[in-house]
Amino acid sequence: MPETISRREIILQEAARLFREKGYPAANLRELARRAGIQGGSIYHHFASKQEILFQLMDHTMSDMIERLSGRLEGAATPLEQLTRLVYFHIEYFVTGPDQTYITDDELRNLEPQNYREIVDKRDRYQRVVEGILTEGRTREGWNLEDPKLYARALVKMCAGVATWYKPEGELNIAQIAAAYTKLLCNGLLPR
Amino acid sequence: MPETISRREIILQEAARLFREKGYPAANLRELARRAGIQGGSIYHHFASKQEILFQLMDHTMSDMIERLSGRLEGAATPLEQLTRLVYFHIEYFVTGPDQTYITDDELRNLEPQNYREIVDKRDRYQRVVEGILTEGRTREGWNLEDPKLYARALVKMCAGVATWYKPEGELNIAQIAAAYTKLLCNGLLPR
Amino acid sequence: MPETISRREIILQEAARLFREKGYPAANLRELARRAGIQGGSIYHHFASKQEILFQLMDHTMSDMIERLSGRLEGAATPLEQLTRLVYFHIEYFVTGPDQTYITDDELRNLEPQNYREIVDKRDRYQRVVEGILTEGRTREGWNLEDPKLYARALVKMCAGVATWYKPEGELNIAQIAAAYTKLLCNGLLPR
Amino acid sequence: MPETISRREIILQEAARLFREKGYPAANLRELARRAGIQGGSIYHHFASKQEILFQLMDHTMSDMIERLSGRLEGAATPLEQLTRLVYFHIEYFVTGPDQTYITDDELRNLEPQNYREIVDKRDRYQRVVEGILTEGRTREGWNLEDPKLYARALVKMCAGVATWYKPEGELNIAQIAAAYTKLLCNGLLPR
DNA sequence: AATGAATGAGAGTTCATTCAT
DNA sequence: TATGAATGAACTCTCATTCAT
């Protein structure tokens, strides 16, 4: 039962990699076609435009993140457990995202207005999940925070930022990084 | 005695704004020229290439950041005081950086190899200042951290990320954000 | 069964004419495209660069010259007969070269180093054929020359130079010019 | 008593070298200015346009050639002596022409119509001197030629062509080349 | 679906030329 | 005379997109 993977999916997969390498504006559809094993013009049998590829990628990625995160959080009894899982998930997703995964704040500006709105909406939905955990921590556990939105942003930037420097061959693996970040977020720097 | 500002400086200033708006690859030299009040070709009287503008901008910014940070840290007696100032400075610099200021991790890939190395070197020098504060906190004050390098990265990403969502007309001003972030970093979320 | 001629060949053909008219640096790719019946950008579907067109042209021409010359010399029993055919061939080729034919000493400087070497190599190979005829004349017929290389150059320059002034409507046709040049080369000016 | 050399003459001198190196269309006035030790704009205090520099150079060169040739021919009693001197002069002039000397058949096309006519006129005047020698040889010495114009062209191309391959460090010096070429022209290849 | 030739707008860059100083 | 900033047209080249096959 071989996994059949459609040409469309191959293109998305390669587009994700190419956009990560060069960024959307600098990425070249002929190069994308080459990597996908077809000719330049053939891309247009699968997508209406370069913009659509970017949008599909980001849209899929945001939906995927939301769905997976929700899966990961299932069965986490306490806000602390949820936070721990969130940090791990977010770092992992950005560092070793599955194929067809692509999301960068910096590329948001390359989305056409309507697409922009859709993606930002989904991003905000994700962000609200993060905020929800923080809020629940405050309510149920007396966590020490005033502005969940603000801290949610800090958390997300911090974790997503790992992707800019992480190297598989480095000293720390993802679990270790996630543990350290969780500890920082929970306990802070000052001794107790 | 009015401050004279050279055309070269005007170009750098407008380039910084344009690159922030569109990103380097999508920014257009004719548009830059228009904003600087000259014709497209005239840019080449002041710079050898688009790449050189990017490099000058990043190089100047990194040097400026290093210098200003060091100024800000002067007279800060304790690691805690230093950390507080650092967080404030970093957020402020990324949000309301002076003219000719431009730095983005995402644009590093657009630097040609030699330029890339120079900028990354300076970035690392800045990063080491941050690490230094954390290390001193650990040594002198028993701060609770194992890997200063790792935490320095988290800190910097978190603070720099403010620039992606901050709006001057928003509820929080920079000082408030900096205070909240410092608190998070110092005390963590969990109640003491 | 009409000879099909590819767009690529049309471009080469028109490029040869255009370069002859204006010289390589002054020739303009949009003008070339216009003559080839396409848009400027379409040239790059067939060639990687202007330089490549020049190289293809010169390379093809040199190969063609070598091959045709060898065809012409076949069956020429004596060095004298060979010389006669060579002079005729060389003048004819430079004056009414077939399509896609383009060669000028003066444009060699416009070739990038690697291309330059290739073309000069082929040119030298042609030159050696000429030298070979002269050497054989000396050996077998006691021709009056000391330095075949030097005389080969004189011969070739003299014949190629016809192209700079020849006009089809002029008094002399190519056969007549070739006959006169051969006579000069064989007998010299002084009366016997 | 130092030789004063005007800036204008320096420019012409450097222009001659630059045009020889790159050809007129590819030569760059800023580069020329640099070599002449001034700024780009300053050239226009001495010449109205790039074209004028080319014209002045060619015009001066043609006049100079005619004048010097006539000087060299003075006192040459026989056509043979004249021919000998001519060949030597022509090769020498093209190979090691004095400063401000520049002439190439290939650049004629870069002259504007009026300039073109003037230069071609002078070139023809020079050519007629060569023809004159040949004609006189035929009349007085029974030289073996039918069309002096045709042979004059052959001669001139052959000699001018030396400049395309001559190297000062080569085996033959100019006198030797001139002697060989004269011998070829006088006696031809076939044994007497 | 796929090809590959073609489009056409626009990019970065070059450069002869002008001109206020 | 000389400067150097500026012009503006033109250049080579790129690329998302189209379309007949």
| One-letter-per-residue 3-state SS of B10-67 | HHHHHHHHHHHHHCCCCCCHHHHHHHHCCCHHHHHHHCCCHHHHHHHHHHHHHHHHHH
Longest dimension (CA), chain A: 63
* Closest CA relative to residue B177, chosen from A157, A141, A84, A121: A157
Q: Are B39 and B54 in the same domain?
A: no
Q: In whole angstroms, give the CA distance from residue A143 to residue A145.
A: 6
- B65, B126 in Cβ contact below 8 A? yes
Task: Tell me whether residues B141 and A190 touch, CB distance under 8 A.
Answer: yes
Residue D192 above 90 pLDDT? no
The sign of the dihedral angle between the CA atoms of B68, B72, B73, B74 is: positive
- Contact between residue C10 and residue C36 where contact means Cβ atoms under 8 Å apart: yes
Q: What is the pLDDT of residue C1?
A: 40
In a domain, A113, yes or no: yes
| Tokens (6 digits) for C22 | 């204006």
Q: Which nucleotides of E are covered by protein (CB under 7 A)?
A: 1-20
CA angle C38, C41, C42 (to 5 degrees): 50
Residue type, A106: D
Q: Is the pLDDT of residue B87 over 90?
A: yes
Q: What is the mean pLDDT of residues B181-189?
A: 97
Footprint of strand F on the protein (CB under 7 A): A 26-30, 40-41, 43-44, 48-51; B 7, 33, 38-42, 44-46; C 27-31, 40-41, 44, 48-51; D 7, 38-42, 44-46
B42 and B55 assigned to the same domain:
no
Rounded mean pLDDT, A8-18:
97
Work out the pLDDT band at B192, boundaries 50, 70, 90: confident
* Together in a domain, B1 and B33: yes
**C133 at the D interface (CB within 8 A)?**
no
Rounded-to-integer distance, Cα C86 and Cα C155, Å? 10
- On whether both B90 and B142 belong to a single domain, the answer is yes
pLDDT tens, position by position, A136-186 = 999 999 999 999 999 999 999 999 999 999 999 999 999 999 999 999 999
pLDDT at B1: 40
Whether B33 contacts B39, CB under 8 Å: yes
D155-179 tens-digit pLDDT: 999 999 999 999 999 999 999 999 9
Strand F bases, protein C-beta under 7 A: 1-20
From chain A, pick out residues whose CB is under 8 angstroms from the CB of B142: 191
pLDDT at B4: 79
Pair B56, B115: CB distance under 8 Å = no
One digit per residue, the tens of pLDDT, for chain C of length 192 reads: 456 789 999 999 999 999 999 999 999 999 999 999 999 999 999 999 999 999 999 999 999 999 999 999 999 999 999 999 999 999 999 999 999 999 999 999 999 999 999 999 999 999 999 999 999 999 999 999 999 999 999 999 999 999 999 999 999 999 999 999 999 999 999 997
Is C79 in CB contact (< 8 Å) with chain D? no
Taken as a whole, chain C contains a residue count of 192
pLDDT averaged over chain D?
Answer: 96
- Examine the domain organization and report whether B59 and B151 are in the same domain: yes
Query: Does B28 share its domain with B110?
Result: no
Given this model, what pLDDT does residue D56 score? 98
Per-residue confidence at D91, pLDDT binned at 50, 70, 90? very high
Number of domains chain A is built from: 1
Can you tell me the distance from the alpha carbon of D70 to that of D138, in angstroms, rounded to the nearest whole number?
20
Helices D50-73 and D79-96 pack at an angle, to 10 degrees, of 150
Instruction: Name the band, by pLDDT with cuts 50, 70 and 90, for residue B5.
Output: confident
Are the Cβ atoms of B190 and A190 closer than 8 angstroms? no
Report CB contact under 8 Å: C109, D22: yes
Question: Chain B contacts of A163, Cβ < 8 Å?
Answer: none
Tokens of A88: 């791990």
For chain B, say whether A191 makes contact (Cβ under 8 Å).
Answer: yes
Pick the closest to residue C50 from D31, D26, D30, D112 (CA basis).
D26
- Asked if residue B173 is part of any domain, the answer here is yes
**Residue C1 vs residue B30, higher pLDDT:** B30
Question: What's the confidence (pLDDT) of residue A1?
Answer: 46
> Are residues B138 and B118 part of one domain?
yes
B95 and B64, same domain (yes or no): yes
Nucleotide closest in space to D6 (CA vs C1'): F1
Q: CB pairs under 8 A, 24+ apart, for B70-73? A: B70/B129, B73/B129, B73/B133
Length of chain B: 192
Report the residue from D104, D162, D185 with minimal CB separation from C189: D185
Write out the residue range of the structural domain in which residue A75 sits. 50-187
Mean pLDDT of chain A: 96
Please say whether the beta carbons of D161 and C164 come within 8 A.
Answer: no
In chain C, residues 16-35 whose CB comes closer than 8 Å to chain D? 21-23, 25-26
Q: What is the pLDDT of residue B39?
A: 97
Q: Is residue D158 part of a domain?
A: yes
pLDDT digits (tens, 9 = 90+) for D125-148: 999 999 999 999 999 999 999 999
C-D contacts (CB, under 8 Å): 129
In D, residues 86-125, which contact C (CB 8 Å cutoff)? Answer: 104-106, 109-110
Q: Do C191 and D143 touch (CB under 8 A)?
A: yes
Among C106, C181, C190, beta carbon nearest to D106: C106
Residue C4 domain-assigned (yes or no): no
- pLDDT for residue D2: 55
Tell me if residue D112 falls in helix, strand or coil: coil
Q: Which tens digit of pLDDT belongs to each residue from A101-137?
A: 999 999 999 999 999 999 999 999 999 999 999 999 9
Across residues D17-30, what is the average pLDDT? 97
Q: Are C106 and D25 in contact (CB under 8 A)?
A: no
Q: Which residue has the higher pLDDT, A1 or D85?
A: D85
Same domain, B64 and B157: yes
Residue range B14-26: mean pLDDT, rounded: 97
Q: How confident is the model at residue D3 (pLDDT cuts 50, 70, 90)?
A: low
pTM here is: 0.94
The CATH number covering residue A87 comes to 1.10.357.10
* Same domain, residue pair B85 and B151: yes
| pLDDT tens profile B53-73 | 999 999 999 999 999 999 999
Establish if B192 belongs to a structural domain. Answer: no
Tally of CB atoms within 10 A around C36: 21
Give, in Å, how far the C1' of E17 lies from the CA of D39.
13
The answer to whether B69 touches B97, Cβ cutoff 8 Å, is no
